[in-house]
Amino acid sequence: MPDIHARFSPSAAKRHMECTPSLLLEEQFPSATSQFAEEGTAGHALAEHLIKKYLKIRSKRPTSDYYTDELVEAVDDYVDYVKEQIELARSECEYPVFNVEKRVDVSNYADNCFGTADMVIVTDNVVHIIDLKLGKGVPVYAEDNYQLMIYGLGILEEYEMLYDIYVVRLTIHQPRLQNINTWEISSTGLKAWGNEVLKPKAALALSGDGDFVAGEHCRFCRAKNQCRARAEEYLRLAQLEFKKAPLLTDDEILEVISKADELSKWAADIYSYAQDEAINSGKVWNGYKLVRGKTNRKYTNEVDVKKAANEAGYNDIFKKTLIGITDMEKLMGKKKFNDILGDLVYKPDGKLTLVPESDKREAVSVSTAADDFKEEI
C-alpha cells in the first residue's frame, strides 16, 4: 500500500537510501497516481475486508470497478496464505496478535517515516510481516527488502515490551507471478541495520545531501525523466571506448548487455515523457510531429451487424471458443478441475531469456545441436 504523506516513505526507502538527494528532487514533482496504483489500492481494500471477516472483525465489503475475476482470484490467493499463517500462529502461541493494515511508526530511526504493513502477526518469539504485491511485471523479493525491514523495526518497537521477539520474518506474496518468498532476520540484526544504515542514510536523504546514484531504483522516481545523473549514467554506454578491432570482444558485449535493459527502459521513459508533453501540453519538439497510429476496423453495433448479415442470407457468423483455464477452474472448483481436467492441462516451458546472474529464477542448462550430435555418436 502507498505510504500517504510520509516524507521518508518506507515504500520509497530503497531509492532514497541509494540515491539520497532524490528525496528532495522528487518533491519538486507532483505525485501522480496511475491505474495500476488505483487497482492495487482496491485489491488491498478487498484483502483487508476478507481477512477481517476471517478474524471476525466488523468490516464492510468494498466495491470497485477494478474487481475483475482475475484480481479477486489473486487477492483470494493472498488471503488463503494469510489464513494459513493465522492458524499456524494460533497453534504455536497462546496469545498471538493479528493486525490487518497496521499503521507502523518508524520515526525513531527516520524523521517523518511511517507506513502501513498489510498483515502483521506477532507470536511469542516471532514477528511475521506479510506484504501483498499485485504487480505483474517484476518479481519482488523479501531478502533485504528495505520497505519490509522498516516495518519490522516499527513493529519491534511496539511489541518488544510484551513479547521476547528474536526473529523478524518478512514475506512477499505476489499472487499474479506465483511468487511467495520469505526471509528472516534476527531482531538484533535488524536493529543494527536500523541504526547503522537506515538512520544515517535517512538523515542524508531528508537534508538533500549525498550523491545522485542512478540504478534500478530510478524506476519509480518522479524525477527520472529529467534527471541528469540518470541520463549521464546511460549515455556513458554510447561513449564506451571499444578497441579498434572490427568485431566486439565477449567482454565488450557483456558490458553492453549489462546496461542494455536499463538503457532501453530509460530511453522509453524519456520518449514517453516527450510524447506526453506534446499530447497534453502542446509542446513542440523540433523535428518531431504528432500523427495518428494505425487502427483496425470495428463494428459500430453488433446487433445491427447480425441483423443486416442475416437479412442478406449470412447466418453462419458466430464462432464458439473454449473458456480459459482460469474460468474453467472457477466454474468447476479447484478439486473437480484437477480430477476432471488435471491430465489435460500442461504448462509449456517458458521462452528462454538471458538474464543477469542476480535474477532469482533457477538457471536452465541447454544442450546445443552440437552437444546432441556428440551424444549420438
Q: Which residues bind ligand SF4 (CB under 6 A)?
A: 15, 19, 22, 25, 212, 214, 217-218, 221, 223-224, 227, 229-230
Q: Are 144 and 49 in contact (CB under 8 A)?
A: no
Q: Shortest approach of ligand SF4 to residue 170 CB, angstroms?
A: 23
Give the number of other CB atoms < 10 A from CB of residue 156. Answer: 19
State the nearest-atom distance from the C-beta of 20 to ligand SF4, in Å. 9
Nearer to ligand SF4, 15 or 49 (CB): 15
> By C-beta, is 177 or 270 nearer to ligand SF4?
270
Minimum distance from residue 359 beta carbon to ligand SF4 (Å): 21
User: 17 or 86: whose CB is closer to ligand SF4?
Assistant: 17
Rounded Cα–Cα distance for residues 189 and 201 (Å):
17
Give the nearest distance from C-beta 205 to ligand SF4 in angstroms: 11
> Residue 214's CB: how many other CB atoms inside 10 A?
21
Report the residue number, 1 or 221, with the smaller CB distance to ligand SF4.
221
Give the ranges where 160-281 is alpha helix by DSSP (H). Answer: 187-193, 199-207, 228-238, 250-281
Cell numbers linked to 222: 518522479
- 90, three cell numbers: 494460533
For 217, which DSSP code?
G
Instruction: Note the residue count of the chain.
Output: 377
Measure the CA–CA gap between 71 and 52, rounded to whole angstroms. Answer: 19
Cell, residue 81: 496464505
Measured from the CB atom, the residue of 19 and 89 that comes closer to ligand SF4 is 19
Report CA dihedral (159, 160, 161, 164) to the nearest 10 degrees.
120
Residue whose C-alpha cell reads 511489541 in the numeric block: 159
- List the grid coordinates of 205: 536523504
Map residue 103 onto helix, strand or coil. strand
Report the residue number, 3 or 233, with the smaller CB distance to ligand SF4: 233
3-state secondary structure (DSSP) of residue 105: strand
- Closer by beta carbon to ligand SF4, 254 or else 267: 267
Minimum CB–partner distance for residue 97 and ligand SF4 (Å):
36
257 Cβ contact list (under 8 Å, min separation 6):
354
> Nearest CA to 1 among 104, 137, 139, 152?
104
Nearest CA among 149, 189, 182 for reference residue 166: 189
Q: How far is the CB of 215 from ligand SF4 (least distance, A)?
A: 7
Min dist CB 279 to ligand SF4, Å, is: 23
Closest to ligand SF4 by CB, 22 vs 187, is 22
> Smallest distance from the beta carbon of 11 to ligand SF4, in angstroms?
14
